[in-house]
Copies of this chain bind each other. A is one copy, B any other.
Amino acid sequence: MKVAFIGLGTMGYPMAGHVCRAGIPLSVFNRSAEKAEKWSAEFGVNASKSIAGSVKEANVVVVCLGADQDVRSVLSMQEGVFQSMPAGGIVIDHSTTSAELAREMENCAREYGHRFIDAPVSGGQAGAEKGCLTVMAGGCAEAFAAVEPVLAAYATRYQRLGPVGSGQLAKMVNQICIAGLLQGLAEGLHFGEQAGLDMHAVVDVISGGAAQSWQMDNRAKTMLNNEFDFGFAVDWMRKDLGYVLDEARKRQISLPVTALVDQFYTQVQNLGGGRGDTSSLLLALKNSTADGWRGEKDNE
């Protein structure tokens, strides 16, 4: 197996590193040369100067990019991945995109004799660095089995959930659950703070019961300490919720709280918090208080 890894961003950088450490023959490409050179210096593998150059001998190409248009451009453009890799390859896309884009990429891959797997991840930057990501995949069983050794380099859970698109749909389920959960947590903490409770003590008590969540275990304290400058950014969450709400609209699925939380994230962005962690939903609530409003007026 020879792997090409494209996209050395926050997630891709450490993921490609794990593939390298696993001893799998690897080439890499990143749009910004600076990041690619840094990666090359750290892992001792020369970065390619072009997408075509990076994939020309690869039978598995892993991409870790941003939104639909980035994936479409890297995979299906002239001298892009599909055109440049040897026929019969497998492309794994770890970006979070629409399910429609995944099906479009599958069709495009097929024209060149390749197979496509949509494989969005969860676990964030920490999961990527520790090599313990979760991969939700869609694609044919045979192609998935063939790439498991690559996934195992950076993921501890990876599962095929159905045909192409299933990975993206499963990731949407994940983001829907998180959106409502985080808003509930934010409202709970906001209420308790406004009511004058010692919220660190309250969280300690209630986190042992039916209100427990990964978010409560890992974010309640940072939220109470007003720390939001880390984690999965609101801007990315809004991108993901955009795909969710488009898909739900097409399928005529009612997601009232998800749609509302998307609106609250817009407020957080408008308050300047787009780069902050998804838990900054608390900021929109705080801004809804009389103090929040007076604070704004004082600044005028």
A residues bordering B, Cβ < 8 Å? 99, 122-124, 127, 134, 136, 157, 159, 161-162, 166, 169-170, 172-185, 187-192, 194-199, 201-202, 204-206, 208-216, 218, 232, 244, 247-248, 251-258, 260-261, 264, 285, 288-290
A181 to chain B, nearest CB (A): 5
Cross-interface CB contact of A181 among B134, B174, B181, B261, cutoff 8 Å: B181
> What residues of B have a CB within 8 angstroms of the CB of A192 in the complex?
169-170, 172-173
The 5 A-B residue pairs with the shortest CB-CB distance, nearest first, are A180-B184, A213-B213, A177-B188, A176-B188, A177-B211
Q: How far is the CA of A209 from the CA of B126 in the complex (A)?
A: 12
> What residues of B have a CB within 8 angstroms of the CB of A198 in the complex?
161-162
> What residues of B have a CB within 8 angstroms of the CB of A176 in the complex?
184, 187-188, 191
A116 to chain B, nearest CB (A): 18
Can you list 26 A-B contacts (CB < 8 A)?
A122-B210, A122-B211, A124-B210, A134-B209, A162-B198, A170-B197, A172-B191, A172-B195, A173-B206, A174-B209, A174-B210, A177-B187, A177-B211, A177-B213, A178-B210, A180-B181, A181-B185, A190-B253, A191-B247, A191-B255, A194-B251, A209-B214, A213-B213, A213-B214, A252-B290, A257-B260
A129 to chain B, nearest CB (A): 15
> What is the oligomeric copy number?
2
A272 to chain B, nearest CB (A): 20
CB-based contact B257/A181 at 8 Å:
no
A228 to chain B, nearest CB (A): 16
> What residues of B have a CB within 8 angstroms of the CB of A166 in the complex?
197
Q: How far is the CA of A169 from the CA of B202 in the complex (A)?
A: 10
> What residues of B have a CB within 8 angstroms of the CB of A211 in the complex?
122, 173-175, 177-178, 181, 214
CB-based contact A173/B191 at 8 Å:
yes
> What residues of B have a CB within 8 angstroms of the CB of A248 in the complex?
191
CB-based contact A170/B205 at 8 Å:
yes
Q: How far is the CA of A208 from the CA of B201 in the complex (A)?
A: 26
CB-based contact A177/B206 at 8 Å:
yes
